[in-house]
Amino acid sequence: AQKITQTQPGMFVQEKEAVTLDCTYDTSDQSYGLFWYKQPSSGEMIFLIYQGSYDEQNATEGRYSLNFQKARKSANLVISASQLGDSAMYFCAMWYNNAGNMLTFGGGTRLMVKP
Amino acid sequence: NAGVTQTPKFQVLKTGQSMTLQCAQDMNHEYMSWYRQDPGMGLRLIHYSVGAGITDQGEVPNGYNVSRSTTEDFPLRLLSAAPSQTSVYFCASRRSLAGGLNEQFFGPGTRLTVL
């Protein structure tokens, strides 16, 4: 079965510093995609970044980058220059060629940015 | 574009009551899905649909029914509510590509409490 693991239930980071949120996945499929979503205290799910399994370059979106290590099956999110507004839950998710390509989510990491 | 809309935002039910959570999207997406999020956890797939008239079960389908009579609407029915169904419910939609970015757009969520 496909599985997404986020091993850090909670993390603190100092404002303006960089932080890495870990995500490992388990799949035997060759074609898959990895997402990161942010969920602030207001509850909505905000798309941050996407990495396809065949993408050779690591994805970047502004202050977000995805450190994709295919052989290790890891897809860590790096947030540079943390801001107070980055405090939220962060979820790693994967689609794979099953179940209508719907997403499987990890358990999440709560990030708290200290001023 | 309203995106993905969900009603109601909040609902309290008594054990044994039935109700329908509404979900609609105006992006002409073929794929729609329902997830539940329990406190401190990631999202789990309940049911999904790959087009009008086609539905299938996800990871946690028991106690829920769905139908998809139009592309726009994908209601979720609780047949006989139980306290274990207390959760936040998210509806999502996306285009029907087999792969690629394929971002899932989420509704704002429905917070359901079953007493």
User: What is the distance between the alpha carbons of residues B56 and B50, in angstroms, rounded to a whole number?
Assistant: 8
CA distance B72 to B25: 5
Residue A77 has pLDDT above 90, yes or no: yes
Residue A10 Cα distances to A17, A47, A63, angstroms:
16, 20, 20
What does each of the 115 residues of chain B score in pLDDT, given as a tens digit?
779 999 999 999 999 999 999 999 999 998 999 999 998 888 999 999 989 999 999 989 999 999 999 999 999 999 999 999 999 999 999 886 555 566 788 999 999 999 9
pLDDT of residue B15: 97
At B17-35, the pLDDT tens digits run 999 999 999 999 989 999 9
Nearest C-alpha neighbor of B41 from the set A76, A78, A110, A81: A110
As a whole number of Å, the end-to-end CA separation of chain A is 41
Q: What are phi and psi of A15, to 5 degrees?
A: -50, 140
Q: Are A34 and A68 in contact (CB under 8 A)?
A: yes
- Per CB-CB distance under 8 Å, the chain B contacts of A44 are 106, 108-109
CA separation for the pair B35, B21 (Å, rounded): 12
For residues A87 and A82, give the distance between their C-alpha atoms in angstroms, rounded to a whole number. 9
Contact between A50 and B56 using a beta-carbon 8 Å cutoff: no
pLDDT of residue A22 exceeding 60, the answer is yes
Chain A CB contacts of B104 under 8 Å are 35, 47, 103
**Nearest by Cα to B113 from B74, B75, B79, B87:** B87
Tokens 């726009």 appear where?
B72
- Which residue in chain A is spatially nearest to B30 when comparing CA positions? A100
Joined together, the tokens standing for residue B56 give 């299938």
- Looking at the complex, does the CB of residue A45 fall below 8 Å from at least one CB of chain B? yes
User: Which 8-state DSSP code applies to residue B97?
Assistant: -
Q: How confident is the model at residue A83 (pLDDT cuts 50, 70, 90)?
A: very high
